Amino acid sequence: MNTASFYRDTWAEIDLSAIKENVSHMKKHIGENTHLMAVVKANAYGHGDAEVGKAALEAGASCLAVAILDEAISLRKRGITAPILVLGAVPPEYVQAAAEYDVTLTGYSVEWLQEAARHLGGETVSFHLKVDSGMNRLGVKTEEEVQSVLKILGQNPGLVCKGVFTHFATADEKDRSYFLCQFDRFKKLIAPLPLKELMVHCANSAAGLRLKKGFFNAVRFGISMYGLRPSAEITDEIPFRLKPAFTFHSTLSHVKKIHKGESVSYGAAYTAHKDQWIGTVPVGYADGWLRKLKGTAVLINGKRMNIAGRICMDQFMVELDQCYPPGTKVTLIGSQKEETITMDEIAGRLETINYEIPCTISSRVPRMFLENGSIMEVRNPLLQENTSK
């Protein structure tokens, strides 16, 4: 019986040592008395939620955060016992499921709390109160609403408030004016709450990296846990070196020589101006390598070589400077010899932010988890199997 974890020559490598290093540095930066909440929503930004979550907890994180209840339950089923906060809106009729799996929810409105209380059948569910300080997404935003929350809590012992938080809209921008406005608004709104009994968090990666104080007693560590800058604007304010954890690789599946005047890929948009070696790489937009990346460089033999023609659903072609044997490694994100293609470079080509790039790499790309250079686990959702060493 073949026991391979995947059957294609395309994979992503996730360096768990890098995750741990970033968490350790951030923990040192914010201080031992401040909780670090590791944000592993969206499959840990495409990296692998359970694997990254376990690594972050081992490195000093106190708890995890996700976006939806399904993500939290999945982590519970994979052995995560640490506290988990769902940052997004969970319909109040699902509070019993949250209670069953010991998952902390976000209470984001007076109406939500009232409905959640009605759906509790004797269970106790914990939540963090979301305060809208200026993002205008989720959260209570008036002093009257905060007083109503306190009243609801007094009448419903099954609702247990364990924290309060807000989210900044511009923490990753040089101009701090709106950020400071939100910060002051948050402090004013939470003043009536028993703050000494609660986990209080407002700082995301950007704010946590930039602030010297004002963390309250917890910081959410998201994008920078993965070794990525919250934005290019604040690069000079980042207090320690971030180590990227995600690299993306494939191989040449086929190599051929085409002649001057021959075209490559759909639409014949690429035409050779000379006799040219062309390699085929088994990666396409179904894997998250989007059509807009036409012409982008990949690394082969430590050299940059450009994608030739349109990217197909499952494959793309690349200009080669010579004939390479099939099986030659191709790096789409990462390093070969002295050359590196960063997540930020790909984000720039796609006119987006680096957050989006690893999230876009689809689940049919197996994730290979490494620690200290050794393969610890391979996760391939297509085969619904995880193999550990």
Contact between residue 131 and residue 200 where contact means Cβ atoms under 8 Å apart: no
Q: Which amino acid is at 122?
A: G
Could you list the beta-strand ranges (E) of 173-295: 199-203, 218-221, 246-251, 254-258, 263-264, 270-271, 276-281
> What pairs with residue 300 in β-bridges?
303, 330
| Closest alpha carbon to 165 in 229, 246, 88 | 88
| Closest alpha carbon to 225 in 367, 370, 19 | 19
Can 274 be counted among the known catalytic residues?
no
* CA 228 – CA 358 distance, rounded (Å): 11
Can 45 be counted among the known catalytic residues?
no
27, 41, 130, 141: the active-site residue: 41
Distances (CA, A) of 218 to 63, 296, 321: 10, 40, 52
Token readout for 108 is 């984001």
* CA 240 – CA 173 distance, rounded (Å): 18
Beta-carbon count within 10 A of 177 CB: 9
> What pairs with residue 279 in β-bridges?
255, 318
Q: Which amino acid is at 144?
A: E
Burial (CB count within 10 angstroms: exposed 0-12, middle 13-18, buried 19+), residue 82: middle
Token readout for 226 is 């993965």
28, 151, 266, 292: the active-site residue: 266
Q: Which residues does the annotation mark as catalytic?
A: 41, 266
